[in-house]
Amino acid sequence: MVAAPELISPKSPRVSAARRLAKRNFRGKERLFLAEGPQAVREAAGHGQTLVELFATVDAAGRYADIVGEARAAGARVHLAEEDVIADISTTVTPQGLVGVCRFLDVPFEDILAARPRLVAVLSNVRDPGNAGTVLRCADAAGADAVILTDASVDLYNPKSVRASVGSHFHLPVAVGVPVEQAVQGLKGAGVRILAADGAGADDLDAELDKGTMGTPTAWIFGNEAWGLPEETRALADAVVRVPIHGRAESLNLATAAAVCLYASARAQRASSTR
């Protein structure tokens, strides 16, 4: 039987501390962020000692008893709360009853290079948190080894970014705040070919696949959805590649283009490794 709620007021110091993490400056100061919903909390609970606290309604604690158990087993403090308390902490319109407080996950860029990655997504000037989280999810699904957010990109721990990744924040290494020039230089030094994804690219993704050039370690640079990649960033790449539009669509959005590019590389690399 689930116990009665213990946090009866949104004015509780623990609730106030969690609520402040919706703001970037508090996240940076505390090096903590919020993960909402059963999937994100489950992944956080299974990620070492990342999950610090879990706030849950009585109903959610009963429905997701396994997740609550995993959280307790991971050493997280579990607080049962009224629905208005969860709503006060949550950044969503319709909270799912579980909100976790997690430690930052990002790793040094040098650690990514030392692991000799074969597939990397570099987000350059990506400002929309939903796009950043969705590209992270796509990279995870395609089997990428790492994601890099440049210094001009959105905060990795923005609540919308965390929600959009649907747990992928906890699956692969992510470096943040890396200048794009440093990212490219480091990756090239690690033997990684740099491809810039741009709708006006001189090279066609289908042609690259036909040429057999995509089986090597590759990093894709993805830019801002509204204005793409600036010329100085495109100039850093070994090739600027466009996703071909075979129908009448004007273009693809950032996350869709990223999925197409990353999966193309992943397939080419698998084929190369079996030869």
47-101 pLDDT, tens digit per residue, is 989 999 999 999 999 999 999 999 999 999 999 988 989 999 998 888 899 999 9
Would you say residue 133 has pLDDT above 80? yes
> How far is the CA of 255 from the CAs of 51, 129, 150, 177, 197, in angstroms?
28, 11, 17, 20, 12
Separation between Cα atoms, residue 268 and residue 272, nearest integer Å: 6
| pLDDT tens-digit readout, 13-45 | 889 999 999 999 999 999 999 999 999 999 999
Read off the tokens for 212: 């057999």
| pLDDT tens-digit readout, 213-270 | 899 999 999 998 888 899 999 999 999 999 999 998 888 899 999 999 999 999 999 9
**Pairing relationship of beta strands 119-123 and 193-197 according to DSSP bridges:** unpaired
3-state secondary structure of 6: coil
Confidence of residue 271 (pLDDT cuts 50, 70, 90): confident
Tokens 């440049």 correspond to 150
- What local confidence, expressed as pLDDT, does residue 227 receive? 83
CB-hemisphere CA count at 13 Å for 77? Answer: 10
| pLDDT tens-digit readout, 134-156 | 999 999 999 999 999 999 899 99
- What local confidence, expressed as pLDDT, does residue 273 receive? 72
Read off the tokens for 138: 């796509």
- What local confidence, expressed as pLDDT, does residue 201 receive? 87
Separation between Cα atoms, residue 76 and residue 98, nearest integer Å: 13
Separation between Cα atoms, residue 39 and residue 18, nearest integer Å: 19
| pLDDT tens-digit readout, 161-177 | 999 999 999 999 999 99
Read off the tokens for 46: 């299974």
Confidence of residue 8 (pLDDT cuts 50, 70, 90): low
- What local confidence, expressed as pLDDT, does residue 218 receive? 97
Q: Which residue would you say has higher pLDDT here, 4 or 91?
A: 91
| DSSP label at residue 115 | T
- What local confidence, expressed as pLDDT, does residue 192 receive? 97
CB-hemisphere CA count at 13 Å for 246? Answer: 2
Separation between Cα atoms, residue 169 and residue 50, nearest integer Å: 11
Read off the tokens for 14: 């623990």
Report the predicted TM-score, pTM, of the whole model to 2 decimal places.
Answer: 0.92
- What local confidence, expressed as pLDDT, does residue 3 receive? 54
**Environment class of residue 188 by beta-carbon count within 10 Å: exposed (0-12), middle (13-18) or buried (19+)?**
middle
- What local confidence, expressed as pLDDT, does residue 4 receive? 55
Confidence of residue 7 (pLDDT cuts 50, 70, 90): low
Confidence of residue 206 (pLDDT cuts 50, 70, 90): very high
Residue spans of beta strands (DSSP E) within the chain? 32-36, 51-57, 77-81, 98-103, 119-123, 146-150, 174-178, 193-197, 203-204, 218-222, 239-242
- The closest alpha carbon to 133, from 112, 152, 155, belongs to 155
3-state secondary structure of 220: strand
Tell me the CA end-to-end span of the chain in Å, nearest whole number.
Answer: 57
- Considering the chain, what is the average pLDDT of its residues? 93
Would you say residue 1 has pLDDT above 60? no
Read off the tokens for 255: 């996350």
**Environment class of residue 20 by beta-carbon count within 10 Å: exposed (0-12), middle (13-18) or buried (19+)?**
middle
> How far is the CA of 210 from the CAs of 73, 144, 170, 223, in angstroms?
50, 22, 34, 25
